[in-house]
A and B are shown apart, each in its own frame.
Chain A
Amino acid sequence: MIGLSHYLILSGILFSIGLVGVLRRKNLLMLFFATEIMLNAANIAFAAISSHYNDLTGQMFAFFIVAVAASEVAVGLGLLIVLYKKYGTLDLDNFTVMKG
């Protein structure tokens, strides 16, 4: 039988995959993909808890997460295009301006 803990463990695994991606990636577009994975992991946990308690609040928060993700992508991709026009690359190491 699949319980709440199964979904929470899956959500934790997916979140850690996204976290490893965020820490490991140097390309900004790939970094965005990793953040999407983390948002989706949170959504799974919200939906699982929502169905476990028969409470719709979790699903509401999942909807708002989807809305936040959509606006984040719209603004972030605009910024990426501006950066690419300016530097010709999306590598984070090239944007380092502080020496130390």
Chain B
Amino acid sequence: MISFAFYFFAVLITLLFLVTVMSKNVLYAMTSLAAGMVLISGLFFILGADFLGAVQLIVYVGAIMALYSFAMMFFDVTRDVKEDNSNNTVVFLLGGAIALLLVLMFSAPILGTGAQALHPAVVGATNPQAVGLVLFTKYLVPFEVAAIMLLVAMIAGIILAGKQMDESLTMTEQEENINEMKGDEQ
């Protein structure tokens, strides 16, 4: 049953992410990316990482994809993205070769001596409880640093996106010319 679920999720995630990478339409790419992330949380639930799966659903699908869809309102998404892909074979060869290298690199220690558990999971605790126990003892400082990083990112996002919000992005060229002339006079 678990193997069926794994292969089901794996095939669907791969197909959806291929659509994300290959599609010319921003809307299709974003929708398939969101669907793939939902299915990835299914993989986390299979692995027993319940809390990580919930975080994946809330943060990735809920927050990040919502942010993308808000940002898409600023851009013209109805027309297809025109891209100059002149050397596709080089890209695919390079991507495949680097990925193979990375897999070999990361699987080397497992094939070799074998790693040891640094913080074994607490016996008898559910996954969220065990995560809380480790996160608020051994990883307390990185947790606080991550909180500060999120605050900084929030302020940066507000400042970057909020600047000149009174100016319209979809001005006609005539209006833009008038604005430029005003700028020249000043």
| Residues in A lying within 8 Å of B, measured CB to CB | 1-2, 4-10, 12-21, 23-27, 29-30, 32-34, 36-37, 40, 43-45, 47-48, 50-51, 53-57, 59-60, 62-64, 66-75, 77-82, 84-85, 90-91, 93
Contact = CB atoms under 8 A, between A and B. Distances in A.
A51 B135 contact: no
11 contacts: A7-B47, A14-B14, A21-B20, A37-B36, A40-B36, A48-B47, A56-B134, A62-B52, A63-B55, A77-B68, A78-B159
A57 B68 CA distance: 30
A71 B47 contact: no
Secondary structure type dominating chain A contacts: helix
Secondary structure type dominating chain B contacts: helix
Given A60-B134, A60-B135, A77 B59 contact: no
Contact of A69 (B2, B49, B64): B64
B156 A17 contact: no
Given A59-B52, A64-B146, A37 B60 contact: no
B44 A34 contact: no
Give the 8 A-B CB pairs with smallest separation, nearest first.
A78-B160, A16-B99, A71-B153, A55-B117, A21-B21, A74-B157, A20-B95, A12-B103
Contacts of B26: 27, 29-30
A30 B95 contact: no
